Structure 1
Amino acid sequence: MTPNIEELRLRLPHIELAAQVYGPEDGKPVIALHGWLDNAATYARLAPKLEGLRIVALDFAGHGLSEHRPAGVSYAIWDYVYDVVQAAEFLQWEKFSVIGHSMGAIVGLLLAGALPERVERLALIDGVTPHTLEAEDAPERFGDALVAQMLLAKKRKTVHPDFKRAVEMRMNGMTSVSLEAAQFLAARGLLEVPGGYSWRADSRLTLPSKLLLTHAQAMAFAKRVACPVSLVVAEQGILLGKAKASFDKIVSQLDFAVTTLPGGHHLHLDDEPGALLVADCFNRFMHAS
């Protein structure tokens, strides 16, 4: 049975975002946030399996069917947090829960740390605190980012000769995904152009961030989160492996419920068994007393 998915346009004071909406109108309010260069379709498998929730899965600015930011404006992580707050205002949700994958998990954590009174529950998939930088490295990082921004104007988007080739490119991206996952994301993220298909995502999304928080600043956000937190970690995801020692150190300081599940970074989208495992975890979490 195909789930009933509504398309929604959120006309915010500063930008217009697109979203896919799942679940009953009287369900518990949830804003779902996707990862970097993905879109709302990342929840195509998971959202229909979550019970009693009214899920608004956003396309972040510059992603999917949402507007791009104006010329000269960057895509800083904290600006996504502002977008989510404005989306909640548009929906007239004073309090709500957040489901976030990867970058979306980071945005959700920053929001819950900054405005803990607004977030009721935080469900994270293979993402937790933002990337950090030592203070003394900030000037060089800023300079490199400025140069990259100036060079981007000379580059042109890749045009793939057909839909299949574009899907294959996404399968083998920085974080690999299954064929079906890539097809879900491509259906919402590709645009037909002369000569083939190009991804809708704003090219500025590939630029390095000009500034990053220090480790101490990032942990301050995480420690200020007041709501219950459920963190799903993928066995073959980005939090384990080379980053495991750092991740272990972070979660040892936090009162988060951590569940490790088999699968890759997109375990909630790659296949039905992975989506079912994540749904089972989040259904129990979202409706716990």
Structure 2
Amino acid sequence: MSLVPDEIRLRLPHIELAAQAYGPPDGRPVIALHGWLDNAATFARLAPKLPGLRIIAVDLAGHGHSEHRPPGAGYALWDYVHDVLLVAEQLDWPRFSLLGHSMGAIVSVLLAATFPEKVQRLALVDGLIPPTTEADGAVATLAQALQGRLALSAKRKPLYPSVERAAQVRQRGVGHVSFEAAQLLAHRGLMPVEEGFTWRTDSRLTLATPLRFTQAHVNAFVRALSCPAKLVVAEQGLLAHRDGLEQLLANTSVSVERLPGGHHLHLDDEQGAQLVADCFNPFLSAP
């Protein structure tokens, strides 16, 4: 598989998304979804190690080179599910597999549970379900989210004198990454401005979620999964010590493989990417 992906544009009825395409056009169809505030470059090391697949790594709305949602719109998880369904329609893929990291894994689970006839296989990297809030916390959650929206216009994006400086800051961000991984994300995620560089991402992505699923909600989605699913849990990642994970996955179609590395183990270095590839290659190529 080529190390250099093809850049493509996906013109949906309501938004235009950017994506990177790996592998032969007649390869097994896979849509790859990145994590929160990342972009399609998160698969730069992993995708070339998955031969025989046609991987479309999407910049989700508001990220990377994709358009931002219009004023007044938000970035709910179900809106991303809708986007991916339209991406599959545009690609003329009635059935496909999903490869998701972090938030992209969560979106993949929601889609696979809701439209089981469309998803052949589900490959998840250190992501499964969103943070939950029970009903008695909903009022405070909504208040926090709306307060953030009201204050957003007064905030300014950070500025960096160089791509390297931005990568250093990203390295210490949510889901700590290696400097090399941060550089890959930064080169795709930054745009030049008069004062240097700033992130392309929509500032609304940093707002709190106004309404979260309850634990019962996420349990229902996981139980609804019917396609073969494999979850890679990073030993130093976000899921490694999550309470109730084994109970949640009991009697489901999801198998778990624990691998050394952090939340971005598929991107941090070539060794981690190879471990993830070794895990997913037989899985995604199975009939």
Does the TM-score normalized on the shorter chain lie above 0.5?
yes
Q: 1:287 is matched with which residue? A: 285
Pairs aligned (count): 287
1:273 corresponds to which of 265, 271, 276: 271
Q: 1:42 is matched with which residue? A: 42
Shift of 1:247: 2.1
2:261 corresponds to which of 260, 263, 282: 263
Q: Tell me the SS of whatever aligns to 1:140.
A: helix
Q: Which residue type is aligned with residue 277 of structure 2? A: A
Q: Tell me the SS of whatever aligns to 2:244.
A: helix
Shift of 1:4: 3.7
Q: 2:200 is matched with which residue? A: 200
2:249 corresponds to which of 251, 263, 283: 251
Unaligned runs of 5+ in 2: none
Query: For 2:245 and 2:263, how far apart are their aligned partners in 1?
Result: 15
1:59-78 alignment runs, 5 A limit = 59-78=59-78
Shift of 1:212: 0.7
Unaligned runs of 5+ in 1: none
Query: For 2:276 and 2:175, how far apart are their aligned partners in 1?
Result: 19
Identity %: 58
Q: Which residue type is aligned with residue 71 of structure 2? A: A
Shift of 1:248: 2.7
Q: Which residue type is aligned with residue 63 of structure 1? A: H
Residues 39-92 of structure 1: CA deviation (Å, up to 9, x unaligned): 000000000000210000000000000000001111111100000001001111
Whether the aligned pair in 1 keeps the contact of 2:2 and 2:23 (CA below 8 Å) is no
Q: 2:26 is matched with which residue? A: 26
Q: 1:211 is matched with which residue? A: 211
Comparing 99-108 with 1-10, greater Cα deviation is found at 1-10
Comparing 137-146 with 115-124, greater Cα deviation is found at 137-146
Query: For 1:183 and 1:94, how far apart are their aligned partners in 2?
Result: 35
CA RMSD, aligned part only?
A: 1.1
Shift of 1:2: 6.0
Whether the aligned pair in 1 keeps the contact of 2:2 and 2:22 (CA below 8 Å) is no
Q: Tell me the SS of whatever aligns to 1:8.
A: strand
Q: Which residue type is aligned with residue 28 of structure 2? A: K
Q: Tell me the SS of whatever aligns to 2:123.
A: strand
- The TM-score, its normalising length taken from structure 1, stands at 0.97
Query: For 1:48 and 1:248, how far apart are their aligned partners in 2?
Result: 31
Q: Tell me the SS of whatever aligns to 1:153.
A: helix
Q: 1:5 is matched with which residue? A: 5
Query: For 1:2 and 1:240, how far apart are their aligned partners in 2?
Result: 32
Q: Tell me the SS of whatever aligns to 1:61.
A: coil
Q: 2:102 is matched with which residue? A: 102
Whether the aligned pair in 1 keeps the contact of 2:226 and 2:253 (CA below 8 Å) is no
Q: Which residue type is aligned with residue 246 of structure 1? A: G
Find runs of 4+ consecutive structure 1 residues off by over 4 angstroms: none
Q: Which residue type is aligned with residue 254 of structure 2? A: F
Query: For 1:130 and 1:117, how far apart are their aligned partners in 2?
Result: 23
Q: Which residue type is aligned with residue 26 of structure 1? A: D
Residues 11-65 of structure 1: CA deviation (Å, up to 9, x unaligned): 0001000000000011000000000000000000000000210000000000000
Shift of 1:136: 1.6
- The TM-score, its normalising length taken from structure 2, stands at 0.98
Q: 1:138 is matched with which residue? A: 138
1:115 partnered with 2:132: no
Shift of 1:253: 4.6
1:16 partnered with 2:16: yes
Query: For 1:188 and 1:52, how far apart are their aligned partners in 2?
Result: 25
